[in-house]
Amino acid sequence: MAAQTVAQYGMAGTDGNIDVIPRRAVTVGLEEILAAREIHMYFLRNWHSGILRRALFGPVTPWFSASYVQGHPNVTVHMPKYVAAVPKVNVILNVTA
């Protein structure tokens, strides 16, 4: 695995502890994922809230390939409450006359 990939995984998934990241990996394509008997999806970060909603409730489209899990018969979703919560929308209107 490239050093840049290890560094990115370390920042995003292990709070900087790159020693726990495997140095070898296997890439699995969407066809293999959808052929699985079970799919487990994990949404653990605040920003995953939008990804979760788009994957599970948005239109099924090749532009967002995770949306294809909507057609799978056995999907389990794992997430903490803060990811499941309705997103807060901060809107700042700058109205000039």
Determine the average pLDDT of the residues in 70-74. Answer: 97
Task: Supply the pLDDT for residue 53.
Answer: 93
- The CA distance from 21 to 10, in Å, is 7
Lowest mean pLDDT among 9-13, 69-73, 79-83, 93-97: 93-97
**pTM of the predicted model, to two decimals?**
0.69
In this predicted structure, the answer to whether residue 4 has a pLDDT above a threshold of 80 is yes
Per-chain mean pLDDT for the chain: 86
93 pLDDT more than 70: no
What's the burial of 55, exposed, middle or buried (CB within 10 Å: 0-12/13-18/19+)?
Answer: buried
Contact 46, 54 (CB under 8 A): no
